[in-house]
Amino acid sequence: MRVFSIDAFLTDLRALVECESPSWDRAAVARSADLVARVGALRLGAEPERITIDGCAHLRWRFGDGDRQVLLLAHHDTVWPLGTLATRPYELTGGVIRGPGCFDMLAGLVMAIHAVAGLPDRTGVTLLVTGDEEIGSPSSRALIEEEARRSRAALVLEASADGGALKTARKGVSLYEVHVTGRAAHAGLEPEKGVNATLELARLALAVSALGDPATGTTVTPTVIAAGTATNTVPASGSFAVDVRAWSHDEQLRVDRALRALTPVDPAAVIEIRGGVNRPPLEEPASRALLERAAGVAARLGLPPVSGTAVGGASDGNFTAGVGTPTLDGLGAVGAGAHADHEHVLAGRVPDRTVLLRELVAELLEEA
């Protein structure tokens, strides 16, 4: 197997960090995809398939055929707007890598490329790199699920949990908009003739928040709200967004039914519920066998011990698990600060994590 080079890794990571790729900027994502393609082609000796869906750029390297592939899943988009590098440039100081997107998840993407490059035989490996994960994967979801259905395992290169723990369970995510239609009226002359959408939204927000269940870990959170057009007018319409997180599909369905059963206090108001389940949960049984295998690989090679944990955030691993594919997440960088100013990667952990990924893939391929 090819020896892992930390210098080559750092060269590639710096290039990707310095090519800013906010998810909502299609031109920036396209530039990033071009760079990822060049880096991958250099290290893998093969050009990727370029897949553009709804204007968003994705990449796929497929080695061999068959329906029992090992899928490596990464994304090249980030949450940071163009210009962030001016105040948070890439740097490596004291063994700590900093820069927008380094932890979530450009380091994991580069690790995937170098791990596959180090395999003596890549037959049976597919590396899929998407460009819209940070906004819910609207264009790539079907592509991810298609690849997952033909895979024996999905290995997700999202950053690790605290201390390097792998992510063996993730909450499912549901996203809604509660919309109220009322009736406008002059707030000073005849407010009684109006149907106040703001009041309905306030009552509904309290009712929606009460749908959470601390015992099961389900959270139901009203977020962005807007209503009305003028300070002297009874609001005729308005809406608020709802973020739902749940460990189980049953809980997602319970909240969904409850939201759609909401009724207005003022019978003249009309409620419309838009949205639904965005990502199914990644439940622990989907990860158990792969976690045990990863722990065995680490023990055999004398790498740092492997542990697993459940996290509230979602990833594309939710989609792969949702179609029934064994999924192990959090195989990327060790560090902290995803989506935060203190985002960083521990450079000293990059080699052992990359070797763990490479050897885990090799073992899965050998078994196949």
Beta bridge partners of 245: 173, 219
Q: Mean pLDDT over residues 10-35, rounded?
A: 98
Q: Given the structure tokens 């197997």, which residue do they identify?
A: 1
Which band of pLDDT confidence, cut at 50, 70 and 90, is reported for residue 356?
A: very high
The yes-or-no verdict on residue 299 having pLDDT over 90 is yes
Q: What is the mean pLDDT of the chain?
A: 97
DSSP H or E stretch at residue 120: none
pTM of the entire predicted model: 0.91
Per-residue pLDDT at 30: 98
The predicted-structure confidence for 120-169, as pLDDT tens digits, reads as follows 999 999 999 999 999 999 999 999 999 999 999 999 999 999 999 999 99
What does the alpha-carbon distance between residue 29 and residue 33 come to, in Å, rounded to a whole number?
6
pLDDT the model gives residue 112: 98
Per-residue model confidence as pLDDT tens digits over 201-240? 999 999 999 999 999 999 999 999 999 999 999 999 999 9
Among 63, 8, 18, smallest CA distance to 39 is for: 8
- Tell me if 97 sits within 8 A of 347, measured CB to CB: yes
**According to the model, what pLDDT value does residue 2 have?**
74
Q: Give the pLDDT confidence score for residue 67 in this predicted structure.
A: 78
Is residue 1 over pLDDT 70? Answer: no
363 is catalytic: no
Handedness of CA 302, 307, 313, 318 (dihedral sign): positive
The active-site residue out of 133, 134, 147, 343 is: 133
Which class would CATH give 6-171+281-367? alpha beta
Determine which one of 12, 20, 77, 283 is catalytic. 77
Cross-strand pairs, 97: 92, 345
Give me the pLDDT at residue 68, please. Answer: 87
Query: Domain-by-domain residue ranges, the chain?
Result: 6-171+281-367, 172-279
Task: List beta partners, residue 274.
Answer: 177
Query: CB–CB of 205/225 below 8 Å?
Result: yes
The yes-or-no answer on residue 12 being catalytic is no
Percent of the chain with pLDDT over 70: 100
CATH of 172-279, one of 3.60.9.10, 3.40.50.10800, 3.30.70.360, 3.40.50.2300: 3.30.70.360
pLDDT in tens, 66-111: 778 999 999 999 999 999 999 999 999 999 999 999 999 999 999 9
